[in-house]
Amino acid sequence: MRHVAIIGAGPSGCYLADQLVRAAPDIEVSVIERLPVPFGLVRYGVAPDHQGTKAVARLFERTLGAERVRFFGHVEVGTDLAMAELAALYDAVVLATGASRERKLGIPGETLPGVFGSGAFVGGYNGHPDAPQLRLAGVRSAVVIGNGNVALDVARVLAKAAAEFAGSDLSPVLTAHLAQQPLETIHVVGRRGPAAAKFTTEELAEFRTLARAAVEVADPAALDAAGSAASPNLEVLKGFVANPVQRPVVVCFHFNQQPTAFVGDERLEGVEFEGPAGARQRLAAQLAVTCIGYETTACGTLVPQRGVFANEQGRIGEGRYVIGWAAHGPNGTIPGSRVAAKALAARMAAEVADHQRAGAVGLATLLVQRGVRIVDHGGWQRIDAAERTRAASDRCREKFTSVAAMLQVMAQ
């Protein structure tokens, strides 16, 4: 039997586990996750009001419960065991660790209270154990920097009325906290032109349906100047301009604006930008969220280069592979991860040799000897059931937001 360890239980890791056991009947897979709970980006990155996207977790749940798959939650490579120890137990090791470190703008004022990176802000509203609790105060104007779907998610979560989160997994406490903000304006600011925006058209068009928010474009002429090439996003933006509505909150899109500084004395008061021909403007803000991408971090002794692990079509070296954002950066869709997983699984099935290594049995023995509290698939199912049980009637689940709380479920 060949043994493969996948580090990371997000979409790429789960899809690869599924494809590996499909590709070869003599492969067993261990999925190793530093948190007690799986699903990574699906659980902590997808917005809480997009439960349709999160539904892919049902497929991943079946994968983690499959006969030749073992889930090792609450196990961190580099802390609980060394990468060399893992390599000695498995015929191949795959990095599916994603990209967890948010990129910085590197401009003055980025550490002011009120300025968040998207990792901290999205993790905060998604209940990630590593994220800070969101404690906002008097937010009348918010600035979201970025022209991708993460920026749209942040703007939409801020713009929605409390009732619009019914059926989501946004904490009712946080929902009430957001609703208490005297929010009037959300600026979504891109450094490039509207034709270069990376929004998914469906997500952009979703802003038409919001109960308390209207959409404006700060410079409608920029839409015409973007060129005559057909662009679904441009058409949606032009539709917002052509069909204005009056609502309590305005979401205003800006393009071709380079952020130059966050300004304020003791906390954020505004964000300064430089536009075409050097034109400068300051947008008042009590909250700013930068949504400009993520980078991969080291995994044990393996260190990324320029934000990713160097690889040749998923292969790092003998017995070492990488997939997903850790391989190519933070781009692509969750369904696209399945295509990449199928290709890498086929390659691994053809070239990974059987070295008669101990695999999951050896890993479990080592971790138990070290006193590591492993959360297996059954343990995750108990946490999952507890989150669903404790949810309010208008929520699909209420997440535990600390590792200690998750482990406490295991003790009950």
Last residue of a domain, one of 290, 319, 336: 290
pLDDT band at 375 (very low <50, low <70, confident <90, very high): very high
What is residue 334's predicted lDDT score, i.e. its pLDDT? 86
Query: Is the distance from CB of 159 to CB of 251 less than 8 angstroms?
Result: yes
What is residue 336's predicted lDDT score, i.e. its pLDDT? 85
- Could you tell me the sign of the dihedral formed by the alpha carbons of 204, 205, 211, 213, in that order? positive
Taking the complete model, does pTM exceed 0.85, yes or no?
Answer: yes
Tokens of residue 75, six digits: 């196990």
Residue with tokens 């909150």: 249
Last residue of a domain, one of 264, 290, 316: 290
Mean pLDDT (whole number) for 191-206: 93
Cα–Cα dist 249/227, whole Å? 30
Cα–Cα dist 409/395, whole Å? 20
Specify the CATH number for the domain of residue 228.
Answer: 3.50.50.60
Tokens of residue 340, six digits: 């990449």
Shared domain check, 138 and 48:
no
Mean pLDDT (whole number) for 254-283: 96
Shared domain check, 117 and 90:
no
Cα–Cα dist 261/279, whole Å? 14
Mean pLDDT (whole number) for 206-235: 87
pLDDT tens for residues 268-281?
Answer: 999 999 999 899 99
What is residue 352's predicted lDDT score, i.e. its pLDDT? 97
Shared domain check, 228 and 108:
yes
The helix (H) or strand (E) run that includes residue 65 is none
Cα–Cα dist 405/407, whole Å? 5
Pairing type for strands 287-290 and 141-145 reads: parallel
The helix (H) or strand (E) run that includes residue 5 is strand 2-7
Q: Where are the alpha helices (DSSP H) in 7-50?
A: 11-23, 40-44
Cα–Cα dist 150/309, whole Å? 23
Shared domain check, 156 and 225:
yes
Shared domain check, 307 and 340:
yes
Residue 217 has pLDDT above 90, yes or no: yes
Residue 230 has pLDDT above 80, yes or no: no
Shared domain check, 388 and 355:
yes
CA angle 390, 378, 340 (to 5 degrees): 100
Residue 228 has pLDDT above 80, yes or no: no
Query: Is the distance from CB of 48 to CB of 168 less than 8 angstroms?
Result: yes
Shared domain check, 330 and 282:
no
Shared domain check, 353 and 222:
no
Enumerate residues 6+ apart whose C-beta is below 8 A from 373: 74, 407, 410
Residue 392 lies in domain: 2-100+294-411
Residue with tokens 């897979």: 29
Mean pLDDT (whole number) for 173-178: 96
Specify the CATH number for the domain of residue 347.
Answer: 3.40.50.720
Shared domain check, 331 and 231:
no
What is residue 227's predicted lDDT score, i.e. its pLDDT? 61
Mean pLDDT (whole number) for 387-398: 96
Cα–Cα dist 157/153, whole Å? 6
What is residue 383's predicted lDDT score, i.e. its pLDDT? 98
pLDDT band at 393 (very low <50, low <70, confident <90, very high): very high
Shared domain check, 201 and 65:
no
| Total domains in the fold of the chain | 2
Residue 196 has pLDDT above 80, yes or no: yes
Shared domain check, 321 and 250:
no
What is residue 226's predicted lDDT score, i.e. its pLDDT? 64
Last residue of a domain, one of 290, 320, 352: 290
Shared domain check, 164 and 136:
yes
Cα–Cα dist 52/46, whole Å? 10
pLDDT band at 13 (very low <50, low <70, confident <90, very high): very high
